[in-house]
Amino acid sequence: MKNLILSILIALFVLGCTASSLKVNSMDELELKHNSKSYIFANKAESSKTRSFQKMDVEQKTAVDSNGATLYYEQILVDMEYEFKYGSITTLKYIFDVSKTNIIYQASNLLVIQLQIEKDHYVNLMAETSGMQDMAYVYGFSNEKLLKIANELKVDGYEIKNAFHLRKPLTEWTQQKLILQPLIKPMFRRGRF
């Protein structure tokens, strides 16, 4: 009986979870899939490069949305024997070298957040955190676009602060930074010596 109740609770939890996917699709569009809906943020990725580091790869793409704003997409893939050292928000703070955030929406594996870059300037960011070994995020949205996204996600009770218009990517990936401030750690496996 106890196992039956536990199985039912786990099934309800899994069914109640909403999965999200933030990626560049086969049409080279920047796309979010959330709650069985699809949102296209940019129609064509303009530039692309992959940075390979010891034990992780970073794919970087630049795209322009329908309003002419430049969006920056990055996907981090960690090797099989490693995982992110921190949770999603702390990892993003580390990547962007910021200390303050303004969380707009957080559910399942989707995060909509503002990162404080300067005293009164924020960067709008959306991240998909599907596990401890990969993360995809896009940043550079205008406040108007962020409001539209929040309304589509049916978010209530949030405050959007002054967004910073970006002219270049904010992330600086270097081997030295990753050595001095490790972003990943070896996965713990039972039975290892």
In this prediction, residue 192 carries a pLDDT of 53
* pLDDT tens-digit readout, 43-83: 777 888 999 998 999 999 998 887 788 899 999 999 999 99
What are the structure tokens assigned to 126, written together? 């959306």
Mean pLDDT score of the chain: 81
Domain presence at residue 177:
yes
For residue 152, is pLDDT > 60? Answer: yes
Query: Taking residues 35-40, what's their average pLDDT?
Result: 78
In this prediction, residue 189 carries a pLDDT of 67
Number of domains present in the structure of the chain: 1
Nearest 10 degrees: Cα torsion 175, 45, 135, 143: 110
pTM above 0.85, yes or no: no
DSSP 68: S
Percentage of residues in the chain having pLDDT higher than 70: 87
Domain presence at residue 172:
yes
For residue 23, is pLDDT > 80? Answer: no
Domain presence at residue 11:
no
Contact status, residue 57 vs residue 133, Cβ threshold 8 Å: no
Domain presence at residue 17:
no
Query: Taking residues 18-22, what's their average pLDDT?
Result: 72
What is the extent of the structural domain holding 140?
22-186
For residue 14, is pLDDT > 70? Answer: no
In this prediction, residue 59 carries a pLDDT of 92
Please state, in angstroms and rounded to a whole number, the distance separating the CA atoms of residues 45 and 28. 6
What are the structure tokens assigned to 113, written together? 């957040």
Domain presence at residue 38:
yes
Domain presence at residue 43:
yes
For residue 88, is pLDDT > 60? Answer: yes
Please state, in angstroms and rounded to a whole number, the distance separating the CA atoms of residues 126 and 136. 9
Domain presence at residue 56:
yes
In this prediction, residue 48 carries a pLDDT of 85
Q: For 15, list phi and psi in degrees, rounded to 5.
A: -70, -30
- pLDDT band for position 190 (50/70/90)? low
Domain presence at residue 8:
no
Q: Name which of 64, 141, 150 is nearest 103 in CA terms.
A: 150
